[in-house]
Structure 1
């Protein structure tokens, strides 16, 4: 998922990877401005052995940088918010 941070005016790339059989979060790729401010969300989810279902049920604040995490999870589960 590629999107722009309005504040940074730079493009960023987020990709979330789940195990196809168990739904367990395997990892995430993040490249671009301000991603270091958001990586802890994936680190916590990975440590807690979060699944696609558990992360899909989370509420993400709007408008915030963490919204990109939610959009990346939706895209990984074939439910993209934006086409």
Structure 2
């Protein structure tokens, strides 16, 4: 009976090679311009939402909105 470590390693390597081959074939395929535009808008939207949420976190922290929640968590 083969060692379980080697069998699982071979299976994982086969999955890795298959995934890599699929990614290379997808990357080299022709992508329509509408998909590139959608990808760009999605990236920009993600950055705007992330920056907005981080900004709100800093704003609430600096203006004392988090003080009550912090006091309730920390024992005196």
More helix by share: 2
Of structures 1 and 2, the one scoring higher in RCO (CA 8 A, sep 6+) is: 1
More strand by share: 1
Q: Check whether TM > 0.5.
A: no
Bigger radius of gyration? 2
TM-score between both structures, scaled by the size of structure 1: 0.21
TM-score between both structures, scaled by the size of structure 2: 0.23
